[in-house]
Amino acid sequence: MCSPVHLKPRRKMVLCIDDNEDMLDCEKAFLESFGYGVLTAPSSGEGLELASIYSVDVVIVDYLMPEMSGHEVAIEMRRLRPQAPIIMRSGAGDVPEQALKSVDAFVAKDRLASELLPAIAQLQGC
């Protein structure tokens, strides 16, 4: 007689894309402390590559990056992972309306600690 197999549910995987590696490190530690799996990418190209390889549940992308803007990344991400909600974040004051329309949520960098987890939970239907 076979014994039942108890599988742990897969952790929700978050992909964080930002050219500021210190910010990525902080965000990764923060999200992991709440049980999320985290992939980080210090460039838009690396972020898109990771999204094409791994199953991600949520994408967090910085608006201002050297290669591609967060808006451009969001457009490409929709093609790669149409089911994954995208959260844009920025420390810049003005993010164009067009960029905001390409994502599911926006969180200012100075409010990450208080607004990021609720945004993820809301987008995941929790």
Could you read off the pLDDT of 90-125 as tens digits, one per residue? 887 788 888 889 999 999 988 888 899 999 999 987
Q: Which CATH number fits domain 13-123: 3.80.10.10, 3.30.360.10, 3.40.50.2300, 1.10.150.20?
A: 3.40.50.2300
SS3 state of residue 52: helix
Structure tokens at 19: 């050219």
Query: What span, in angstroms and rounded, lies between the C-alpha atoms of 112 and 39?
Result: 17
Q: Which residue in 65, 67, 70 sits closest to 87, CA to CA? A: 70
Helix intervals (H) in the chain: 21-32, 44-53, 70-80, 97-101, 112-123
Parse the chain into domains and list their residue ranges: 13-123
pLDDT for position 95:
84
Query: In terms of DSSP bridges, do strands 13-17 and 58-62 run parallel, antiparallel, or are they unpaired?
Result: parallel
pLDDT for position 99:
87
pLDDT at residue 88 is higher than 90: yes
Could you read off the pLDDT of 33-77 as tens digits, one per residue? 999 999 999 999 999 999 999 999 999 999 999 999 999 999 999
